[in-house]
Structure 1
Amino acid sequence: MIDHTHDPAAESWVGSARDHPAFPVQNLPLGVFTPAGSTDPRIGTAIGDEVLDLRAIAALLSAELAAPLGEPRLNALFALPFAARLALRYALFTLLTNAAHTQVIRPHLHHADDCTLLLPFAIGDYTDFYVGIHHARAVGALFRPDNPLLPNYHHVPIGYHARASSVQASGASVTRPNGQTLPPGEATPIFGPTRRLDYELELGLWIAGRNPLGTPVPISEAWERIGGLCLLNDWSARDVQAWEYQPLGPFLAKNFATTVSPWVVTREALAPFRCPPSPRAEGEPQPLPYLRDPADAADGMIAIELEVLLETAAMREAGTAPHVLSRSTAGAAMHWTPAQLVTHHTSNGCNLAPGDLLGTGTLSGPDPAGAGSLLELTKGGREPITLPGGETRTFLEDGDRLTLRGTARREGYRTIGFSACTGTILPAPLA
């Protein structure tokens, strides 16, 4: 899948794209935006510091693309065959690298700072997995020191059905949730604001295409169902979760908010950054046959550098730069590949539709510096983090702003990135 659109020497006539750290012409992510002074959502692509209105240039593209590009969300576009979306990438690459198209395209470029980025899909369903093995081990050790991973972890990609209605685009605030918690040493729960609000550093997989109900997706075809990726923060109320999760698992502790980065970095753009999965440790069971494929074993992961930053209200007031909480790499953190998630999800005949969202689960590194949640960083709240200026945190406080960043980097290719995934914590409503 590596082709001329990945050529590191290719340059756009859009000046800001030439040295852009996230959106050179080799990226061309897709999203939904409204220009300044408009409330009319339209599909666009990011190029440098600009956003190109694709609805406005649909006449320059194929007839197959015209109708989907006129929609206010990406669902119809991601319902098309992969060949159509690849043709769109090729066409955009030509229009933005060949200066002969400058006069036709330039009027439809909008400065990104003047645009409002929206949720890219109408999300029908959202599933959150638990594939970050270092996170699973670290959290498991907090509660089961002698047996951090449960016996099924190496056999089945663990996941649960999450809440699609509360998924929001980066920049939207997150209201601290109320919920039931059981105070230490008490026998009766109380109701009120969570005191252990946390983030989870994840990737989101956006589904393309559709499989009929009752028709599994084989592992050899699963990557065809992944239209693109985003950053994902599955906010968590840890004290609510501790009280409610047994015996059925996450519920109100997770469904109050999930934040995603608004630009969809397509799997086509990420082709140079594919890598093999980390080998399983000696003695660990191999996946069952329906989850094994030679091609997936060769390059089924994507190497994405991840970073988490925290900025408190006091830091903003003082003009202090956000504090880096952790750094990790997605490919090395995942115990199951994206294709294995799609195949397992559909193995019982479950039907996935364009715009469905799959979260990977928290992607922590193997050491504490790569922890993807405060639960890990503070050892369950026992070891507070000291921030610039002397503030401390065990979990998130009102006014805190949490940002996820992601970058794909490989020698010999142009670095591309994800838009930031940011949310600011607001106080809980009166209980």
Structure 2
Amino acid sequence: MKTLDQIAAELQGYDPNALPADAVDEFLSRLVEPLTQTERVGLFDALDRVLAADLIAPLNVPPHDNSAMDGYAFAGSQLRAGQDLRLRVVGTAYAGAAWQGEVGPGQCVKIMTGAVMPAGLDTVVPVEFTRSEGETVTLPAGCVQPGDNRRLLGEDLMAGQPALLAGSRLGPAALGLIASLGLAEVAVWRRPKVAFFSTGDEILSLGQAPREGAVYDSNRYTLFGLLTRLGVEPIDLGSVKDDPASLEAAFRRAAAQADVVISSGGVSVGEADHTKAIMKQLGDVAFWRIAMRPGRPMAVGRLQQEGRSALLFGLPGNPVAVMVTFLAFVRPALLRLMGARQAQPLRVPALSQEAVRKKPGRTEFQRGIASRALDGSLQVRSTGSQGSGVLRSMAEANCLIRLDHEQGKVAIGDRVELLLFDGLI
């Protein structure tokens, strides 16, 4: 396991006092190592879990050629260009059981969606395309081509081939796919345990009476929501006063029971509190001033407690900065810890509906509202005030507008990149 100094030495131009956002991503990709413990869970418990090994299909899906719709099955070789085809119906094939019988030239079988294709038949004509006359049906010229409306054996999944790859995060479609293979449970990586708490003498817990100079703790609740949506096991350790004994006890308690510790508050440069000193005392920790807005101060490292190591993320205290740094850095790091193949969020291009003032030299994350223009293109506008304490702006937003480190001012109609909240928050 490399120390933080060793990781920093591998990064070109590493400067903890002016660290570009992209350098943070690179640093964390070297710091965070996936968990190694696995478990088997039932499908109802597998949503958002990460697959621990390639899932090999034990059978073909579908297990046989079958009809894609209600209609008439016949041999497509009988079709002739520009000519109607008249066929005699010799039986009906239902889903759930193979039809028994033979079909000769000039004959067809009425067939239901999902029914096994009778031997020798390869084409299905939908009922609505035909004209029925007693025991015969007529297919108008050109209504189908040979092979139409037939689902092939194994066209979805082929026995012996990977159905899902290790590191896949299991969404609703993946659960259905696994069930289609007849599997009731699946091997996944263990869920990380993430302990979190807020620090500061100005923090009030819910239920306490208001007092001058104090604010209610919102960060724990946003972090709880972010962590729960991600699929980790959150451990709420409450609010901690800014005194050495309380802080040390909180960090020790968190590191003893969790894989990751997240604190909010107390990491700004020049703050007269004890959080940074306790972090440094208990582990290998780096303190950064990131070239970004909001969320400039951040601490990262490892805490050592009772013979085990826990990742540490010390986030700023301002509510919006907590959410932005979590989405930009902590969430991808946790996904790597969970063994996910895709850790970084997708960036979606959009056109700015307004001019934005920005100087090159830092990455900015503005709260935005994305929508569709009349021509179908994606467009975005800000939520207004972008102060790092304006949590309402996050509640109103459906995305973050990411303005890159070297990017300058944005004009109306310029292209920007979005981190959409759907799936993140």
Q: For the superposition of Structure 1 and Structure 2, which TM-score range results when normalised by the shorter chain?
A: under 0.3
Q: Which has the higher strand share?
A: 2
The structure with the larger Rg is: 2
Structure with the bigger RCO (C-alpha within 8 Å, sep 6+) is 1
TM-score by length of 2: 0.23
